[in-house]
Structures are given as C-alpha cells and as structure tokens.
Structure 1
Amino acid sequence: MIASDSEIQAGIVAMDPKNGHVVALVGGRNYVESPFNRAVQAVRQPGSTMKPILYYAALENGFTPSSTMKSQLTTFMFDDGRSEYTPHNFNNKYAEDDITMAQALALSDNVYAVKTHLFLGEGTLVETAKRFGIKTDMDEVPSLALGTSGVRVIDMANAYSILANGGKKVDPVLIKRVENHKGEVIYEYNAKKEEVLKPELASVMTHMMTGIFDKKLNGYSSVTGSTLIKKMTRPYAAKSGTTETDSWMIGYTPQLVSAVWTGYDKGKPIELTVEKSYAKNIWLDFMEKALDDEPAKKFKAAKGTVAVYVDPASGKLAADGCPVKRLTLFAAGTEPAEYCTDHLDHENHKEEQPKKEKEKKPLYKRIFGL
C-alpha cells in the first residue's frame, strides 16, 4: 500500500466497540528498523477527526444536523482586537452561504467547526474529549476544533468505539486474562458498563458520519469520502483528518472500529498527493478485508430518534420540488418542522403546503432499519 521507497510511517488500531478488545495493532512499517510503537506511543495532531467529538458536544447543547451557520472566510478577534485567528478550508473553498452541520461534517468545513467551538466555549470540547477517553492534554484555543492538540491513535480508536456502541464507555483491552503455571486465573478483565454519552445523540452522530460517503451532501466541494465510495461493500461511519504533517482516517461498522494514522516521524510535511491518500486507502482496505466474512450489519437507530427527509442544502423538511432529499436522523423533538421553499415553482401555488415525501426505502433507511 505504501511505496517501498517512502519514509512515511503508519500506526493502526482496530477494536471491537462492544467490549474494547483490541483485535489488531500496528506500530509501524518495520519493527526491526524501528520498534517505536506509533499506535500507542506517538502523540500527533488529529486534525478533523476531532470534529465528531465537537459536534457530539454541539448536539448536547441544542444543535441538530440541520443547524446552519455561514461558511465564509472569517477572522475571529480576541483580547479586544489584540489577537486574531483565521481558519481556512481546504483549497480555500467556502460555501459563501449557510450550510448545515450535517454538510459541514461531510465536507469538513473548518469555519463551521471553529464557530461551533467558540459558541460552545473552548472548555466544552476539552471536557467532552475526556468523556470520550482522550487522555492527552487539550489546549483551550480556537484551533482545537481543527485538532491541533496531540492525541494517540489508540485513544482515538477508543473514542470512536464509544460512538459505535451507542454511548457506553470502553477502554482498550490488550490482555483479557492471565493464568499462572497451574492454570489459575490471576487476572481477568471485567468491563464496567457505564453510559457516558446519550444513546440517541450517539446514534444521530453515527448517522451524520455516514455522510462523508453520501454524494447527496456534496456542496461547494465533494464529500471527503468520495474517492472510497465505489470500493465500499457495506455502510460505514467515518471521518478523515489532515494537518500539514499528519493524515488520519477513523471509522466503524457496528462490529469493528479502526483508526489509521500516517505521517513522518520527524514531523516533515506530507506533500505528495499519493501520500495524502494513504490513510484513507489503508483504512478501507483493512476494514473490507477484516470484515470479509462478516455480514454487512446496519446501524440501528436508537430509541428516542426519528428520521425525516430533508433538503441537504437548507436542512428543512424536503418538499415535493426539492431535487435532492436525504433521510436524516434526529433526536426526537429536534427534527425540522418547516418545509423547504427554495425550489417551489413560484407560478404554481407557492402558498400550498408541500406534501410530505413518501418513503422509498433509500440507502440510509435500509442502513438504519427504519
């Protein structure tokens, strides 16, 4: 997968989200040449893989997948104008209009993420990351929304496992049991079932994370998982992350979570296009092979959620005239109540209330068993 003449390194952790059992761990490309374990020892910037944790916190604070904010080049001023921060989107592309949180995650819009982070208060993401099992120190700064504080691969795999299992705390388990020479058990791991996230919001977050593979959420740019869609044989929830020196892909099915990091040990910038794609391709190749003999399980919608068709651009209920309709999961009571009017034929009864879209069993309805 990685060119033999490349010095780029990789770290991989795969876990069973139900119990935290680590089923695969790769600390580097060649143990003889370098025994340093990048999966558990390296602390690297996670980039946009931090956004699902941020947006989960947003869901707890009143946001929904349809919450909108403007995506445009924005300079944030602090300390009475004495300091400023200007986040940039990839290739400096912006919607120059309002976008929904679902689309912001699918396109990895950085401006939306920083606005959300500052709205919640910089301490909110720090505390939420701790609930997700992140053990490294987080800086309360605007750029934390874009993953500028270092994390370990194994901690990120663990964090996504909590989303994958519906909000229950898990810890990475490398040793299940130890027996002495007589066969007596002297240590056995016993998982404590503790709910650390709201199940309905974890379910909503999972559904949002399937959006990186859904072209219905294409906007001013393509969804970030677009290059992988044709190779996928089952539904996935995932998020990629990129910094100047780090490339990540983390995602899951109901049965398996895996996190992949690639980069240079000495923090050299990743400049070659092919090297920027390693993490995504390694992740999908691993997941497909690891699950080859497993059924393609659906993500089950938790109790307390509802699914409605929305217009992906406006986040409002899809009307008959909307050219794109996407089934979207919400916590019950937070779903949009207003119909989209952006595509109404003004000459044909604009005042009529659009009829509710008939369900057609699309991909996401099948995925969530709705």
Structure 2
Amino acid sequence: MSHLLRTSRVFAWFFLTGLSVAIIIASSLYLYLRPNLPPVEQLLDVRLQTPLRVYSKDNRLIAEFGEKRRAPITIEQIPTIQLQAFLAAEDARFYDHPGVDIKGLTRAAVELITTGSIQSGGSTITMQVAKNYFLSRDRTFIRKFNEILLALQIERELDKNHILELYLNKIYLGNRAYGIAAAAQVYYDKPVKELSLAQMAMLAGLPKAPSAFNPLANPERALIRRNWILGRMRDLGYITEDAWSLAANAPLTATYNTREAEVDADYVAEMARAEMVRRFGEDAYTEGYSVTLTVDSTRQQAATDTLRSGLEAYDRRHGFRGPIGQIDIENLTPAELSDQLLSYSRIEALVPAVVTSVDDEKNEAQVHTRRFGPGIMPFETMTWARRYRTERYTGPEPKAPSDVVSAGDVVYVKIDQLPQVTNTEADPSEQPTEETAPSELRVSLTQAPDVEGALISLTAKTGAIEALAGGYSFNQSKYNRATQANRQPGSTFKPFLYLSALENGRTPATIYNDAPIVFEDSSLETSWRPQNSSGQFYGPTTLRKGLYRSRNLVSIRLLRDIGINTTLDYLKRLKLPTENMPANLSLSLGSGLLTPMDLARGFAVVANGGYDVQPYLIERIEEADGSIVYEAPETILCDRNCPTSPRQSEPVDIAGDTEGMTLPAAQAEETSDEPRVMPRLADERSVYIMHSMLQDVVKRGTGRRALALNRSDLAGKTGTTNEQKDTWFAGFNHDVATTVWVGFDQPAPLGRGEYGASTALPIWVEYMKVALKDRPSATMPRPNGIANIRINPETGERARPGEDGIFELFKQEEAPAPLPVQGNGTHTDNGNGDDLSRQIF
C-alpha cells in the first residue's frame, strides 16, 4: 500500500511539474507574442479586396478589373441553411466554444504525434478569421499560437454573427472567388439565396481544399465531400432525412461563370481603367470602386456593332484572302481537331474552324469549329469570296464551294444557327420532340478585316462621350484609334476653313473660280496640280456649293484669299491642335493631322452653336460603401462675362500618356461643385450659316446617304484623302456630334471606289439610327442679325425680278446691296463706293 502511495505521489508530482512547465511556457509565449498581435479593432475597419467595376450611364456592367472576385454580403442576406452547411463542414461547435475548440486541438495534436506530420489544424472558424485577416498561411507552431491568442481576443470583442460574416466574406473558394457571394456567382451564376441545398453543401466543402474539392477541376472528390457535409447536416439535425436523400442524389450542376459584361465596350473600359489607376494607383483594383461612365449602353453597343459590320462590309468587297492556316485532318478525332484549333484565336464573333470536307454536289462544306464542334457551311455564305489580289482587284466570282475552300483549310466562321441540344438537368416536358429534332450547326464563311476604324459620339453641349469604338477588336489590338490615331482629315476639315471665311467677311454666296491651278515649289520634284476628286472643273462656284460639292480648287483659292496664318490662328481659337498642320495651301485639303476625337470635338463645337467642348468619360466614381469620390461638374455654356474657372482653359488631352487613353485634365480634379464654364469660340451667326451649308451636304452633296434617316436636322461632311488612305464622315444635329474614320493602321490605299461616302458614312448612318431613335428633331435656333435674301446663284448678287433665284443666308451687315434703280440715273453701288459688278476670286 505504501508503495502504491509513493508511486501515486511521484506521478502527481510529475503531473504538477509538467502542468507548471506548460503553464510557464504558455505564459511566456503569451507575454512574448501578445505585444506583437494586431488590435482586433482593425477587423471593424477592414476593407475586403473588391474589384474595380465599370458601368454605363444606365447601370449596365461594362468591365470588371481585379485579381479577386468578391461581392461582400451581410449575414442577414445568407440563408440559415447555408450558414449551417458551413458550420457542419468547418466548426459545428462554433456557437459554443470561446474561439478555441480544445477537442479539435487535442485531435490535431494526437494526429501529429501518431503520424509525425500535421494532418489537420484543429482550427475553429474564429481561428480561420484570425489567420485570414492577420496572419500568414505558414504551418508553424508560432503562427498557431498567434492564431489561438488572436481567436480568444476576437471572441472577447466581437459577437459570433459578426465573426461568421467576416469569415464568409474572406474565405477563398477557388476560381478567383473570394467569399460566398462571389462563389455562388462563379459556380452557379446565382445569388446565394437562390442556391439549392446540394449547391450550398458543395460551396461549404470548398474552404478545406479549394483545388482538391473543386467541382470543376475534381468533380468526383467534390461529390464525396459534398455528400459527407450533407450527412453531417443530417446528423446535427439541420436537415431532414428526406432533404438529405434528395440533395445527396442530386447531380453536380456547377459550371464556370464569370460575370459577363453587359455592354461590348472594351476600348471605353480601358480608358476608364487607365484613368482610375492614374488616380488611385494599384488600389484601384482592390478597393471596390464603382465607376459610372457617360456612355449609354444601347448607343455604345450600336457603336461597337456598326463599326464592326462596316469594316466587315468593306473587307468583303475586296475579296477573300484565303485560309488562316492548314491542318492535316487525316485520322483525327473530333477532340483532336478541337485541340488543333486551340492555336487559332477567336476574334469577337469570328470562330476558328477547319474544313473537313467539300461537297460541290450538295453545295456546301463540312467544318469542325473550335468550340461548337461539327457544322455545315452552305455555299450561299461563300459567294462573296472572290479571291483577293490587290485592294483594287479581285478574282472571279466563285461558282462552287471548292473554288473557295479545301479540306484542311482553317478559316474564320460566324455561327448562324446553333444546334438544339438536350439539357439532362431540364424538365423532361421541355425536351425536343420529334417535331423539334436537334438541328445542325450552320455557319457562314468570314474573315478578320485588315482595315480598321473608329467611331466617337459626343453630347454636343457638354462633351459627354455617348459612345466610342476604337477599332474592330480590342483583344486583337489595344491601340485606340479614336484617341491615338493621328490621320489626315481630308475634306472633313473644310468646314473649319469655311467657318473661318464666314468670320472674315465671306458669305455663302461669295464666288470662287473652280478652275485649274498650278503651284511651283522648289521643294517639290514636280509642280503641284491639285484637282477635284472627279477630275473635272466647274468654273465660278459659290462657297455654299463649293462646300457641299467638296470642290478642292474652291477651297484652295479660299485659303489663299483669307490667308494661311489667319486660318491657323482661327483653328487655335477653336482649340483645334495645329502642331501637325502644314503652313501651306495643302492645309485647305485637310493635309494636317488630327485624331478622330479631335475632329469629333471640333464638330461638337459647331453642333452646339459655337461653344467650347471638353470631352469627358467618367460621370461618377463611388467607393465600396457607396460614398461619392468624384462627380462630373455641371457644364455651363457662356456667351460673355464668363466667370473665371480653372477648368475653362484646361486643354483637352485624351491621348497624352503612355497608355494613350488619359482623360481630360478637368476629369483629374476631385469632387467639386464648381461647374465647367465653356465660353463661346465662334460667332453664333457664322455657326448658324455653317449649319445650313452642312445640311446641304446631306441634302444635295456627298452626304446624301444620310437621307435614309428621314430627318431634317442632320448636317455633316465627308472626307477622303489622296489615294483613299483615310475616309471620314463627321455629322451632327444640335444635340449630338458623331465622327467615323476608316483606314489601315499603316496608311495605304483603300482601293477603287472607296470614299468617305461609301465606307465611313454607312457606319455613321447605322449608328445614328440607334442614337437618334426617339430623339426629337434638334436644330440650332436662328440667332438675331440673320437675313434671308433671294440671290442669283450664278453671280451671288440679289436676284432681279423674273430671274431664277435661290434664298441665301447672310449676316445683315454683309447682305448684298439692294438692286440699283433702273432708268433714273441713280446709284450703281451700295453707297460705300464698292463696285457691285460680279467679282470672282
């Protein structure tokens, strides 16, 4: 008995000694680690990394930027059964323990002793919050002690629901999804509240190993994990036996879903992204900013679609350049064909496909597409494919499919009709019947255009960008031609020359001689002999007719008359860039360089009645909590005695940085109630007369295709440079100004018959059908001091009784003198000593 007592005492002393040592070690660790632990108060002010989102004016998603997909959610927005699924999977005693589960830690310690390695961490949800928000993911004892201490501290200062909410918003659930709301979107394309029980259990299984239990990467292991969690939920009393049975037998329904952009506006999105990074640095991608732009989703989509369609139409007119590659299709399975096509990129709606056979008797070709599998390409979709030779010449029209493609050719196609497929998860009553048997995939032959273009549409009175497309495909080329491409505007420049003339004493009835002219210049190898595009000359011509007929010789003589320096000074007054403008007579033909945005802004000045315009894209920037960081100021058009504003004289620079997409300097200011004051740049009477002259371009001149819109408020100007290297149309009404450019990135002739009226104008018309839909007619109000006088169009003088005459607009002080009184010997001048005889410049 005494031996047993002595042995018990020894074990008791060993136990007490061990316990004391453990307490001393734990206390020492606490005293050592406690000063370095972060304060829990940081959790109350934590900012979860949330991506930058860009929206249209009407709140449609344009783009999302950021490595982490996250959409913070409150615990009240999460169904109770979803919370229970995570508790069953991660911490069933969460609401009972003080932040540390002794049983769990003991189990983890036993596993470590018996296996020699860490099998599980014994972590509670609170400990995971401590690790995710404050600590590294290193599997070390020091980090574990820190985790335990922090968890105890968190439990003392935060309630359980708050801790659980932090956990569910922070955890990584695979596929760049952080937090439960993002995961529900990525895997099921649903909000959390719409998930089924099986789907909730699937998400709850991901925190343990987002890769190993991922239903997309490892469906078999994911299914096992999901069903284990469902069993735990049943055993814990969270769900009934029947609910467990239904959910455990449910098929996997997870698919990869990104939040698709609702508007195709990649160039606009990149402009917004570049500006946000300029403002906020790398924080722009993680702080949850929401950017609302000035673009309207409907008009922006129309800009993207019509530009692409117009470029494709031009490309088809110039023939088929042949396959983009070859594949040896012999003995390849459909899966192997798809793998071979992976090396060919998809370009917007253009899908790579390989021709598997050609059947002239059936008048079709069989193809295998990269994503959609086998399909049929009817010959009727290939009839356009004359063989390309040069931009001016094509081969003969094909007569059969074999004239166009051969087996093994890799070509681009557009999907015309997708096959109907059976959805195994759908209701049987919704499956196709014999009468609605699955159809075959049908495609059309196409090709990626070499030609490029740009479209910019501005609200004339404010400069807000309503729509912008910088090229055929942003994924193919990040180069934003709308803001970066310096090109010759050709005749689209002429309205600014003519407006300068109207401001310098000329009238629409002033006559210039459309006749041959030769310029000798020692710097040129040959004499300069400018011509009209028709190659003909038409004699004395009024300025109005010279503009709407786009007569080059009239423009040259006009510039020589009013002076090159006078014109350049006037362009500076309009705030058009003159750095790349020649100081010679070729200026009159648009030989200087402007970007499409420069030209759009210039026409917006004309459209709004002569006021300054500063294009801008960002309407509002909000932080993650909804507070407004920036809001575009009000725009005020000012005639005289304008208040001083720092924004009034700031330059418009939309292509100034290395990214080439910087917004105007005015946009860089922080939120301010101070408006942007836009002073008058041009005399309103001159601008009103210019409106009338440019309306004639549409009614009677080179812009007649715009008559298809059946509106009376449209004006504009076509433009084509030498050898058709650049083609334009810039048009407007009093509310909106839109410019379209078409050309090659490396300037080259567009080919025979390609002018502004045939390449750019059709795109403009199709876009404006959408942009002007349901918009009332908008014309510039007639200012005071305008006279409408009947003149002789051949002389520019007042028409005599009985003469054929037309009515013309004049500033009152510049109107033709009254006709002299006949037969009484009275005056033959206008009272100022000026000869009223016909003058031709």
TM-score, structure 1 as length reference? 0.83
Instruction: Indicate which of 661, 667, 684 corresponds to 1:199.
Output: 684
Aligned residue for 1:76, secondary structure, equals coil
Indicate whether 1:237 and 2:705 are aligned.
no
Q: State the one-letter code of the partner of 1:107.
A: R
Instruction: Indicate which of 595, 620, 626 corresponds to 1:177.
Output: 620
Following superposition, the deviation at residue 313 of structure 1 comes to 3.6
Aligned residue for 1:214, secondary structure, equals helix
Instruction: Indicate which of 522, 526, 533 corresponds to 1:90.
Output: 533
Residue in 2 that maps onto 1:103: 545
Contact in 2 for aligned 1:306/1:335 (Cα 8 Å)? yes
Q: State the one-letter code of the partner of 1:37.
A: N
**1:92/1:237 Cα in 2 relative to 1: closer, same or farther (>3 Å)?**
same
Indicate whether 1:145 and 2:588 are aligned.
yes
Q: Percent identity?
A: 28
Give the whole-Å Cα distance in 2 for the aligned partners of 1:106 and 1:263: 23
Question: What residue ranges of structure 1 are gaps of 5+ in the alignment?
Answer: 216-222, 341-349, 353-370
Give the whole-Å Cα distance in 2 for the aligned partners of 1:286 and 1:134: 25
Give the whole-Å Cα distance in 1 for the aligned partners of 2:805 and 2:533: 25
**1:89/1:153 Cα in 2 relative to 1: closer, same or farther (>3 Å)?**
same
Residue in 2 that maps onto 1:58: 501
Give the whole-Å Cα distance in 2 for the aligned partners of 1:101 and 1:184: 51
Contact in 2 for aligned 1:46/1:147 (Cα 8 Å)? yes
Residue in 2 that maps onto 1:18: 461
Residue in 1 that maps onto 2:776: 295
Residue in 2 that maps onto 1:259: 739
Larger radius of gyration: 2
Residue in 1 that maps onto 2:791: 310
Aligned residue for 1:261, secondary structure, equals strand
Following superposition, the deviation at residue 185 of structure 1 comes to 3.3
Contact in 1 for aligned 2:726/2:742 (Cα 8 Å)? yes
Instruction: Indicate which of 58, 63, 69 corresponds to 2:512.
Output: 69
Indicate whether 1:332 and 2:812 are aligned.
yes
* Structure 1 or 2: more helix by fraction: 2
CA RMSD after TM alignment: 2.6
Give the whole-Å Cα distance in 2 for the aligned partners of 1:249 and 1:336: 33
Moved more, 242-251 or 313-322: 313-322
Q: State the one-letter code of the partner of 1:225.
A: G
Contact in 2 for aligned 1:178/1:188 (Cα 8 Å)? no
Contact in 1 for aligned 2:790/2:805 (Cα 8 Å)? no
Residue in 2 that maps onto 1:209: 694
Contact in 1 for aligned 2:720/2:755 (Cα 8 Å)? no
Following superposition, the deviation at residue 22 of structure 1 comes to 0.8
Give the whole-Å Cα distance in 2 for the aligned partners of 1:70 and 1:197: 27
Give the whole-Å Cα distance in 1 for the aligned partners of 2:481 and 2:525: 39
**1:335/1:203 Cα in 2 relative to 1: closer, same or farther (>3 Å)?**
same
Residue in 1 that maps onto 2:266: none
Following superposition, the deviation at residue 333 of structure 1 comes to 1.5
**1:284/1:328 Cα in 2 relative to 1: closer, same or farther (>3 Å)?**
farther
Q: State the one-letter code of the partner of 2:762.
A: N
Indicate whether 1:188 and 2:188 are aligned.
no
Give the whole-Å Cα distance in 1 for the aligned partners of 2:599 and 2:610: 15
Aligned residue for 2:483, secondary structure, equals coil
**1:187/1:266 Cα in 2 relative to 1: closer, same or farther (>3 Å)?**
same
Give the whole-Å Cα distance in 2 for the aligned partners of 1:237 and 1:225: 8
Following superposition, the deviation at residue 320 of structure 1 comes to 4.7
Following superposition, the deviation at residue 126 of structure 1 comes to 2.1
Indicate whether 1:123 and 2:565 are aligned.
yes
Following superposition, the deviation at residue 59 of structure 1 comes to 1.2
Q: State the one-letter code of the partner of 2:559.
A: H
Contact in 1 for aligned 2:576/2:602 (Cα 8 Å)? yes
Give the whole-Å Cα distance in 2 for the aligned partners of 1:172 and 1:299: 20
Give the whole-Å Cα distance in 1 for the aligned partners of 2:714 and 2:453: 22
**1:278/1:77 Cα in 2 relative to 1: closer, same or farther (>3 Å)?**
same
| Deviations 1:341-361, CA, capped at 9 Å, x for gaps | xxxxxxxxx989xxxxxxxxx
| Deviations 1:124-170, CA, capped at 9 Å, x for gaps | 22222222232352121210110111101011111011111111111
Moved more, 11-20 or 114-123: 114-123
**1:291/1:19 Cα in 2 relative to 1: closer, same or farther (>3 Å)?**
same
Give the whole-Å Cα distance in 1 for the aligned partners of 2:709 and 2:582: 37
Give the whole-Å Cα distance in 1 for the aligned partners of 2:702 and 2:805: 19
Higher relative contact order (CA 8 A, sep 6+): 1
TM-score, structure 2 as length reference? 0.38
Contact in 2 for aligned 1:68/1:100 (Cα 8 Å)? yes
Moved more, 176-185 or 264-273: 176-185
Q: State the one-letter code of the partner of 1:206.
A: H
Aligned residue for 2:568, secondary structure, equals helix
**1:323/1:140 Cα in 2 relative to 1: closer, same or farther (>3 Å)?**
same
Q: State the one-letter code of the partner of 1:117.
A: L
Indicate whether 1:113 and 2:555 are aligned.
yes
Aligned residue for 1:333, secondary structure, equals helix
Q: State the one-letter code of the partner of 1:259.
A: T
- Number of residues of Structure 1 aligned to a counterpart in Structure 2: 334
Residue in 2 that maps onto 1:133: 575
Residue in 1 that maps onto 2:145: none
Give the whole-Å Cα distance in 1 for the aligned partners of 2:769 and 2:811: 31
Moved more, 164-173 or 175-184: 175-184
